[in-house]
Structure 1
């Protein structure tokens, strides 16, 4: 059967035939779903569906944990979880010369400070402060990664924590994380590229996703190389190293204490809670705090404690923290049980301060006592003395406060570019040498898209009709056995003459469904149109698209992050929505024949995947204002709404133009393709 496509001139002609709505006509309500669907607001359906998948995976992990009975069981668990952890990171880089140097010193009376620069990777500079107690040493030392504060090591909370520990007789190495302090991305005039470190981290993580370069991996490697630096110094005891941090620094402490055996004692603060309580409360947070596929792999927060058992860990939590305190206690009990199995229950403890999200004095004193006990052999009730903190300008490691002005310096975005550099040739070779079915099977694998036969079928429920002249509009609710619920509008012409179209719009089915709009025009021209809200779009969208500093992020970013934690992607999930909808529409209304497909904006990438993977379902494909290539995502720091569009590791094997190339040219229209910032590309 020869496939055809509705042309733009035909659409324009149809639009010209439509008059204005009749005077006095009532305002139409095109909403399909009720305020609650099975007790859940429509905008929360995607989130709830993903949480059910996550909770099922966490339940499997909890059942496996319950089987840990002996030290041998613990060792097996640790080996398996460590392997899962490293796999989620994509492994770790190779060690390269640190090229460390001290750029300045300061005598602060009760302690000394050295300003340090080192390269965790070639050209990837890390700025840090080394606080040294009196004497020549060697001193036990504590590594302190910072949390999400713009000025990082210069922030009051980190200065207080560092000075407190050095006054307790411990050296402290406090470093700026990627995208913070002297490592922020800046404009030529010195102003920061992004308004907050979390925004910078999120955009870095999104850009790294198509090449499977994890931001967490780079941040962890900074910490491991910082430990290398401490080991290299004669005034530091390399066999007495600890690690502590709060919030994002608590995340890094948790990662480092799990992976690096040199961390003799650790004290993560205001982070550990467990994914169950995290998802039940505030949801996933900053990009590096989430590893691809880790929930499905059974890797939970408590595993960062269990992996290092029986080495000492002090879990520090705040009663009023947004990282749930009950989750911290649940996690502590898991750790206490395993440490007890190994004969060292006293080596894991929990401190709860009745404060908010902060490194309160109760935590600072507790961690100082903890490190004095395990690193210095002094078990006493040490108390923090009074002290003053310094101005940011007094503790900069670089003249301009910007490591990227160092000769040969590289940003994280440049690391992404370096990783991606060989992929263009590798992709070309892959598609040239692989049979088409094998290449598309790899696409399925990476995007986690099941074959059509494995997708549960949709059923529909009618929800009322509207009449606009010769066009009848039916409200439908599509459901499947996996709990997916999609609202839809079916535009039926009086006489069908030009086929059936499945229409998908990033702003939802109602975006072009109004009186005199494009969907009515298509129906008046003889085409039956099914406009569907894919998961997370239209009525199913989590609020409005954000403005201000959150503008680069889509409203469903937390759901996209949970999908990432499950080893999935919204692009893949929505592709399955489209395939099941197309099959249902073909069988229900089009006598089993292929349907025309339109995808606009965020709906375009799943539409392209659907057309490439199951071409027999589609008579033609029209993509409007759709991202042209993922290489734009990795080559710019200023992406917009791209988290839902990315597939982890895809660019190692395919890009969007590779999928376009699988479709016959006479069956495909690319209308106003856009770049990663959402701007229409110039011809």
Structure 2
């Protein structure tokens, strides 16, 4: 039976059905059963580890997570490793170790500060020794911490600490003893702590309100929409400091660069597992009281947009496998790690054949800590895996506590560098300029450079958008509506992505004699935009159906049937549990509205592409404010979308000045902004309107691909010109 005959048969069976002007898929009075309408996830959610069935799957996941960390922290591409200009001064010989003051330039004009602990009599060493990084957590004053007397008395009483002097600062305690055991240890300051105050503590860790005067198009400040658009955050700066701290300790003559380790607790634990995940030089890692499926880190310095959407701290710790990984747990958010998270880590280490390299020290009788008991376990772990050579590790003994006056690196001979908001703006501008220079250099006149460009820029955009084309097996179609019109069928239903649990009302306008070509027609009004106000087909849609194209409309999130009152939100939602105006508290755990709408388009594209009817061509049209969404979707769909016809409206993410704008997309501006998304889809056919001229990176990409004829521009956004483009057979 021919397709036309089938159509006429269906038409005859439907003539008695009442004709609805604009079809509704979801029952009246209801919203789609879409999980994204529920409250947003926050840092106190549940973050189980992704489990892999085989080593190949894990390596793929690990590679993706590494890229996710680097992109989200503004380290993709990695900043230039400028000279450290490290200064080590004021050496003191102590009981079994030496103590020195250090500052080094991790970015031009920006300094990392800390204390260097070394064994005595290094000149008598016959071989090189391990180097250990020791990042601190959110202890008051960090490296200068001095435990309150009442707290110390309690710790001495319950066995958490052993020495009245040494128990005053657990950061110093572990650094001293590791040096006494024969290691060089660098304890360095978090941003805003102790001597590292070019960026203030109040900003880095206490930010609560947007600063309008720092939300500007150049020399912007941390937490501003511009910083988020470029993925510049305190967590990224601290991670970069950890990488440069590794660079520093590796330059010391006595340090064996094949025996580098890191250990820190709480916020220092976050720094530990993050840098361990991305820097292969670290051979042993022990993050204390931080790895769990529960609370992921409450400080602004532990959060970044994009970072924990679909991932969590156990995943990041797992990236160190199969190298030696030690964990500690206490009566805090890590209290359930023995049953939630650690079994998955153990299964992974077993899969990789190194189950003995994983260790958990759980002392749930103690609150949040890195106390004497847990440090003792750490020393044994380091002895075993760094080859310290002890059959029985000597226990800690007391040491002379050093306060801020003894430890500060700044003095008249070594004055503190400039800081404040003016410096902050210069630092972020320099960071941005460095990234832009590296990105600009990717695309040359050589054809092979386009592949590298797509790997770097396209790889970043993949993280920024957060979803590609879902697998066909993860999509579900529930058809609930069918209605015959004069020369086409309306077929409607709900398209569900089983992974994201999204549920979009979708309408197919199926012509009498389908030409095997599909046009997805995006509008501000969702699928209602297929029609005019008088319920007749929109002009362009009618023209396509007359030419036997199937036209598809979809209600993206917060369009059409997603709206109880018909009004689209002017602001995106934020997490209910945190009133601080840092974007990462919402969008470090949830996709933005822009990203989620882009996902809806990708889900629709994938469903059509994999449909049993085997369409020959899929085109994507967006002639109104949905243009940027279509461009973002095409950047991920690439060749699956044969043609893109779009009005960009001159939109740029860099101009979005509100972290809760529906068009806010963390990282959206960094990778050549919207034109970068067009460029990574080169050499596919594109009809572009809304630009005064072809964006430079787009023009360059099509030239390198030798595909200039595949890019058409139209300044006035003519519907007729757009339709001609769609109806022209691809070359």
TM interval, shorter chain, is 0.5 to 0.7
CA gap of 1:183–1:430, structure 2 versus 1, over 3 A, is farther
SS at match of 1:32: coil
Q: Is the 8 A contact 2:461 2:677 kept in 1?
A: no
Q: 2:625 is matched with which residue: 562, 580, 599? A: 599
Distance 2:239 2:297 in 1: 26
SS at match of 1:128: strand
Q: Which residue of 1 aligns with 2:189?
A: 176
> Per-residue deviation at 1:352?
0.6
Distance 1:450 1:222 in 2: 37
Q: Which residue of 1 aligns with 2:136?
A: 146
Q: 1:128 is matched with which residue: 96, 101, 114? A: 114
Q: Which residue of 1 aligns with 2:599?
A: 573
Q: Which residue of 2 aligns with 1:350?
A: 360
Distance 1:607 1:383 in 2: 58
More helix by share: 1
Structure 1 range deviating more: 660-669 or 314-323: 660-669
Distance 1:615 1:332 in 2: 40
CA gap of 1:279–1:163, structure 2 versus 1, over 3 A, is closer
Q: Which residue of 1 aligns with 2:589?
A: 558
Q: 2:286 is matched with which residue: 238, 260, 267? A: 267
Q: Which residue of 2 aligns with 1:471?
A: none
Q: Which residue of 2 aligns with 1:228?
A: 250
CA gap of 1:616–1:247, structure 2 versus 1, over 3 A, is same
Distance 2:477 2:440 in 1: 39
Q: Is structure 2 residue 333 aligned with structure 1 residue 321? A: yes
Q: Which residue of 2 aligns with 1:165?
A: 174
Q: Which residue of 2 aligns with 1:33?
A: 31
Distance 1:289 1:356 in 2: 30
> Per-residue deviation at 1:225?
0.8
Distance 1:444 1:332 in 2: 27
> Per-residue deviation at 1:640?
7.5
Q: 1:651 is matched with which residue: 646, 654, 672? A: 672
Q: 2:652 is matched with which residue: 628, 631, 643? A: 628
Alignment RMSD (CA, Å): 6.8
Q: Is structure 2 residue 424 aligned with structure 1 residue 395? A: no
CA gap of 1:333–1:175, structure 2 versus 1, over 3 A, is same
Q: Which residue of 2 aligns with 1:544?
A: 573
Q: Is the 8 A contact 1:125 1:403 kept in 2?
A: no
Q: 1:244 is matched with which residue: 263, 279, 282? A: 263
Q: Is the 8 A contact 1:128 1:173 kept in 2?
A: yes
The two structures have a TM-score, normalised by structure 2, of 0.54
CA gap of 1:609–1:525, structure 2 versus 1, over 3 A, is farther
Q: Is the 8 A contact 1:140 1:376 kept in 2?
A: no
CA gap of 1:112–1:393, structure 2 versus 1, over 3 A, is closer
Distance 1:353 1:462 in 2: 59
Q: Is the 8 A contact 1:84 1:294 kept in 2?
A: no
SS at match of 2:53: helix
SS at match of 1:125: strand
What does 1:55-454 align with in structure 2 at a 5 Å threshold? 58-61=51-54, 97-102=83-88, 113-120=99-106, 125-132=111-118, 141-147=131-137, 152-154=142-144, 160-168=169-177, 169-170=180-181, 171-177=184-190, 183=196, 186=199, 192=203, 195-196=206-207, 206-208=228-230, 218-219=240-241, 221-229=243-251, 231-232=252-253, 242-254=261-273, 265-273=284-292, 277=293, 286-287=303-304, 290=307, 301-306=317-322, 308=323, 313-322=325-334, 325=337, 326-331=339-344, 333-334=346-347, 337=350, 345=356, 348-354=358-364, 355-371=366-382, 374-375=387-388, 377=390, 379-380=392-393, 382-383=395-396, 385=398, 388=401, 390-391=403-404, 395=408, 397=410, 399-400=415-416, 411=427, 414-421=430-437, 423=439, 447=462, 450=469
Q: Residue by residue, what CA displacement relative to the aligned partner does 1:300-353 show, whole Å, maximum 9, x if unpaired?
A: 6334131x25xxx432233532585134532553477479x57x94x6432112
Distance 2:37 2:66 in 1: 37
CA gap of 1:652–1:315, structure 2 versus 1, over 3 A, is same
Distance 1:385 1:335 in 2: 39
Q: Which residue of 2 aligns with 1:532?
A: 555
SS at match of 1:59: coil
> Per-residue deviation at 1:368?
3.8
SS at match of 1:99: coil
SS at match of 2:573: coil
Distance 2:620 2:284 in 1: 63
Q: Is the 8 A contact 1:278 1:323 kept in 2?
A: no
> Per-residue deviation at 1:242?
3.7
Distance 1:668 1:363 in 2: 70
Q: Is the 8 A contact 1:131 1:163 kept in 2?
A: no
Equivalent residues, number: 554
Q: Is the 8 A contact 1:251 1:268 kept in 2?
A: yes
Distance 1:421 1:434 in 2: 17
CA gap of 1:406–1:456, structure 2 versus 1, over 3 A, is closer
Distance 1:303 1:208 in 2: 25
CA gap of 1:527–1:322, structure 2 versus 1, over 3 A, is farther
Distance 2:209 2:400 in 1: 30
Q: Is the 8 A contact 1:570 1:645 kept in 2?
A: no
